[in-house]
Amino acid sequence: ELKVEQNPLFLSMQEGKNYTIYCNYSTTSDRLYWYRQDPGKSLESLFVLLSNGAVKQEGRLMASLDTKARLSTLHITAAVHDLSATYFCAVPTYNTNAGKSTFGDGTTLTVKP
């Protein structure tokens, strides 16, 4: 059974600081997804990582995938308050089909001034 673990589950940062969220998964997959969820809202797709070594950046967020280590990271650079949200990683249960994905528990990020 595929397991996806994120850490930390809660993260409180000061504005301007850097930090990394980690996502480990238990079975072979060369695809991984990152989502953002604001309180009371749905999931917004952030990154789709489709191969080993994939790196994608959007603003202050950068995601990478190491399929050999079964590890993805979401790096936050110079955090700002607008980044406060819950971040989920998800791995497709069947390697090529995102339609059934297993999600991590989420990392709730709070950025303080």
**What CA–CA distance (Å, rounded) separates 106 from 28?**
21
Is-contact 32 25, C-beta < 8 A? yes
Q: Backbone dihedral region of 107: left (phi > 0), alpha (psi from -120 to 50 degrees) or beta?
A: beta
Query: Which residues inside 14-33 make contact with another protein, applying CB under 8 A?
Result: 31, 33
Q: Which of 62, 71, 80, 98 binds another protein (CB under 8 A)?
A: 98
Does 94 participate in binding another protein (rule CB under 8 A)? yes
Q: Which of 83, 106, 107, 111 binds another protein (CB under 8 A)?
A: 106
Looking from the CA of 85 toward its CB, the CA atoms found within 13 Å total: 20
Does 57 participate in binding another protein (rule CB under 8 A)? no
Contact footprint for another protein (CB under 8 A): 31, 33, 35, 41-45, 48, 50, 88, 90, 93-94, 96-106
